[in-house]
Amino acid sequence: MSGRAQLMWDEAVTGYDFGRDHPMDPVRLALTRGLVDALGAARGMDVVAARAAGESTLRLVHREDYVEAVKAVSADPASADGSYGLGTEDDPAFAGMHEVSALIAGQSVAAAEAVWHGGALHAVNFAGGLHHAMPGAASGFCVYNDPALAIARLLELGAERVAYVDVDVHHGDGVQAAFWEDPRVLTISLHEHPRTLFPQTGWPEETGAEDAEGSAVNVALPAGTGDAGWLRAFHAVVPELLAGFRPQVLVTQHGADTHFEDPLAHLAVSLDAQRAVQLACHELAHQYADGRWVALGGGGYAVVDVVPRSWTHLVAIAAGRPVEPATVIPESWRQEVYARTRQPAPMRMTDGRWPVSWKDWEDGYDPADRLDQAIVAVRRAAFPLRGLLA
């Protein structure tokens, strides 16, 4: 297997644009790519522009009638009437929607193929991670579900165990739905509690279909959870599950919307904690999946201050050259930010909280603490189904 890493990138992915006032501003992708270049974060990586996913690939997850509906509104956005989730406030139709959505999906599928076939050990598509799209509907800013398509392609190639870890602030509902009945795929999602955030799913009791019990794991975190609690929950759940499952490939989704500055959610996580989880996912891939790691982006709506820094850290970690948190951001990139957005750019690659720390689960828990209650709930619901002690 090659020790090299791949960065999946095609400038055309910035055409995934729902319009001027939509939270998912594609400038976040362009600024991330610019910061990666400014810091040399992808040095040593192969930068690959893959082909768009074809219809046979899209149908690994999505219904044929849905793909045809996307193509129709892509050609004539004015025809979108809300059916199939297209033309809604969350997912407005736009010209070329099918083509650019398939292009993003193609990058994630190609990343999975490269890791499976040994062309790369790690592959990153920060334009991907569109985890809400359902087999027959757009949802939550997502048209085609590229994480699910990447996993489905791995199964098609012969993978027998694929683990998916989603740390976006929103539940990874579309990926869970795609593999609800498939014990070959373990989906783990850490997200804000469904009582307080879209899509109102991801309860601990959601553990998979009858023939795949324990294949879905959901950590529903209280609103306001910060660095110590987020990292405590991650380490209390994810490593033990991966150790038992022994995936052949680890696919991770790194939505940056857990951040305390994100305007659409209510967690209070720092960039430094996000970096810590990225490092942990890299280590877990080497511990339990022979290093095979596909890392994707996701949500994130603080498009200047947070997203570019978070995903640049992700790229650098995959490249084997992590960027130190105290690194000063080059003035050239800061000028690019101002030129594009008229906003001031951050000065360093940190929120000033590195190194982050948390209390290990093995050191005991407080039954009156809401965060610890959330961890207990998921361990009791899912762990016994996987032969693990709650």
> What residue ranges of the chain have pLDDT lower than 50?
none
**Residue 377 amino acid letter:** A
pLDDT attached to residue 269: 98
Predicted confidence (pLDDT) per residue in 203-231, tens digit: 999 999 999 999 999 999 999 999 999 99
How many CB atoms neighbour CB 227 within 10 A?
Answer: 23
pLDDT attached to residue 2: 58
365 phi, psi to nearest 5 deg: -140, 165
| Contact of 336 with 34, CB cutoff 8 Å | yes
d(CA 49, CA 123): 12
The residues that bridge with 189 in the sheet, in sequence order, are 166, 218
Catalytic residues: 132
7 phi, psi to nearest 5 deg: -110, 120
pLDDT attached to residue 136: 98
Q: Per-residue b/e over 42-74, b at no fewer than 16 CB within 10 Å?
A: beebeebebebbeeebbbbbbeeebbebbebbb
Please name which of 146, 153, 86 lies closest in space to residue 116, comparing C-alpha atoms: 153
- Report the SS3 class of residue 251: strand
Predicted confidence (pLDDT) per residue in 105-119, tens digit: 999 999 999 999 999
| Contact of 176 with 189, CB cutoff 8 Å | yes
Please name which of 306, 284, 303 lies closest in space to residue 293, comparing C-alpha atoms: 284
pLDDT attached to residue 378: 98
**Residue 308 amino acid letter:** P
Which strands sit side by side in the sheet containing 122-125, from one edge to the other?
46-48, 5-8, 122-125, 293-296, 249-253, 162-166, 185-192, 216-221
